[in-house]
Amino acid sequence: MTMAESETDRPNPGNETDMTSAENETGASMAGNGTDMAANDAEREKTIVRTSVISIITNVLLAAFKAAVGLISNSIAVTLDAVNNLSDAMSSVVTIIGAKFGSKQPDRKHPFGYGRVEYLSSMVVASIVLYAGISSLVESVRKIIHPETADYGMVSLVIIAVAIVVKLILGRYVKKQGEKVNSGALTASGSDAVFDAVLSASVLVSAIIFLIRGVSLEAYVGVVIAAVIIKAGIGMMAETLNDIIGQRGDARMNAQITRILKEEEAVRGAYDLVLFDYGPNKYYGSVHLELPDTMTVDQVDLLTRRVQARVHQETGVILTGIGIYSYNTKDEEVIRIRDDVQKTVTAHDWALQMHGFYADPGEKMMRFDVVVSFDIGRKEASEILNREIQALYPDYTHMIILDTDMTDQKESENPDESGWKVRQDPDTDRKGDHNRPFPECL
C-alpha cells in the first residue's frame, strides 16, 4: 500500500476529550445557524411580499391614470404604457405567490423544500411580460397601418412626467430589495420598472414633438416600447431557464468555500466542489479534500465536521458529503511518479489541474483526475493523455478521470471579482480549484 496508506494508532484519552468538546461546539454551531437561517427565510419572505405589494399598488394607480390619459388623448403609446404597468402589477402578484410557496418548509414528499417554485414564478412573470410586449407590438403596427391623430393636453403631459419620476423611484427601490434578498423575480421587476420609465420618457418626448411640430410618432414609439418589452421578457425567460437547467456555479461562492476549506492547516487541496441549487439561497454541496496520509480517522472526522459547520455558518451551504484524497508523504517512489505525471499533464494549457493521484508500484497501476477546459474535445484530450502517460510509464496500467471545468478559471483567479487568489503550491502546481458533475474515465 502506498498512496492510501494511513496510520491507525488511536489518539490518547486526553485527545478524545478535546475532540468530543470540539464536536459538541460544531453541533451547536450548526443548530444555532439553522435557527438563524429559518429566521432569515421568514424575513426574506416578508421583504418580498412587502416590496411586491408596494409595486402592485403603484403600478395599478399608474395604469389607471395612463389609461385615462390614453383614452382621452386617443394615444396608443400612452395606452400601451398603461398596459405595461398593469402587466407589472400582475408580475408582482405572481412574485408574492412564488415567495409564499417557495418558503414552505420541507415535507416527506419534498425533503429539499419548495425553493425552486420561485424559478417557476419568475418564468410566469417573464411570460406575462413577453405576452404584453407581443400584444403591444400588434396594436402599434395596426396603428401605423391605420393611423389616428392624438390630442394631448397639458394635464396629460404632467401625468406622464410624474409617472416617469414615480417609475424611476419604484424601479430602484424594487431592484435594491431584490438584490438584498436574492430574489430573481423581484430584481427583474425592478429592472423592468426602470425600463418603463425610459419608455414613458420616449412617449412624453413624442407628445411634445407632436404639439410643437404636428408630427405624430406615437405609433412608432409604440413599436419601440413593444420591442423593448419583448426583449426584456426573453431575457428574463432565458435567465430563469438557466437557473432551472443548471448553470456554472457562482465564482465568488466557489472561491469563498474553497478558501474556507484551505484555511485548515491539514488540507492540501479542495477539489470536485459541486453545488446543488434548490432555490434562492438554498444550496447543498459535496467536495473532496486532499489530506496527508498520516492523519487518523478520528482526526479526519473532526476536521470534516469543523469545515462543514464553518462553511454552513459563513455561506449557508450545507456540505452533505466530503470525500478524502490521501496525499502520500512516505513513499519516495510514488512522490517521484506523481511529480513526473504532474509535469507532463499540466504542460498542456487545457489541463487546468491534476489531483487525486494514487499509485501502487507493486501492482504497477496509477489513477488520477484531470480538470479539462472547454477549449479541447474530451476525446482528443483522452487520446493525448493516454498516449503520453503510456510513453512515460509503459509498464504501468493507468486510469485517468476527466473532470469538467465547472468554475470559470479566470473568474476564480481574479482577486477583484472573487476576493481570493488561488494559492500556488510548488509541490502540486495548482492552477485552480474546480468541480465535476460527472466523472469520465479514459
> How confident is the model over 264-309, as pLDDT tens digits?
999 988 888 888 888 777 888 889 999 988 899 999 999 999 999 9
pLDDT digits (tens, 9 = 90+) for 250-265: 778 888 999 999 999 9
- Residue 397's contacts (CB-CB under 8 Å, 6 or more residues apart) are 364, 365, 366
Exposed/middle/buried for residue 39 (C-beta within 10 Å: 0-12, 13-18, 19+): exposed
CA distance 347 to 49: 54
For 88, residues 6+ apart whose C-beta sits below 8 A from its C-beta are 55, 59, 189, 192, 193, 196
pLDDT, greater one: 7 or 28? 28
Q: Which string of b and e fits 363-378 if b means at least 16 CB within 10 Å?
A: eeebbbbbbbbeeeee
Higher pLDDT, 72 or 169: 169
Structural element, H or E, at residue 78:
helix 76-102
User: How far is Cα 371 from Cα 367, in angstroms, rounded to an integer?
Assistant: 14
CA distances from 191 to 45, 180, 186, 274 (A): 20, 14, 9, 31
pLDDT at 280: 72
CA atoms of 383 and 130, how far apart (whole Å): 47
pLDDT of residue 230: 87
Distance, CA of 118 to CA of 126 (rounded, Å): 12
Phi, psi (deg, nearest 5) at residue 261: -65, -40
Spatial strand order of the sheet with 318-327 comes to: 269-277, 283-292, 318-327
pLDDT band at 224, cuts 50/70/90? confident
- What mean pLDDT is predicted for residues 373-388? 92
Highest mean pLDDT among 61-65, 72-76, 209-213 belongs to: 61-65
pLDDT at position 28, please? Answer: 52
Which residue ranges form the domains of the chain, and what is each CATH number? 30-245 (1.20.1510.10), 252-296+321-441 (3.30.70.1350)
The overall average pLDDT reported for the chain is: 77
Q: Which has more pLDDT, 402 or 439?
A: 402
What is the structure's pLDDT at 39? 61
- Pair 342, 431: CB distance under 8 Å: no
- What span, in angstroms and rounded, lies between the C-alpha atoms of 439 and 435? 10
Condensed to tens digits (0 to 9), the pLDDT of residues 66-107 reads 888 888 877 776 777 787 788 788 878 888 888 888 778 888
**Nearest-angstrom CA–CA distance, 84 and 163:** 13
Instruction: Read off the pLDDT of residues 107-118 as tens digits, 9 standing for 90 and up.
Output: 888 888 888 887
If pLDDT is split at 50, 70 and 90, which confidence band does 38 have? Answer: low
Strand 397-404 with 440-441, pairing:
antiparallel
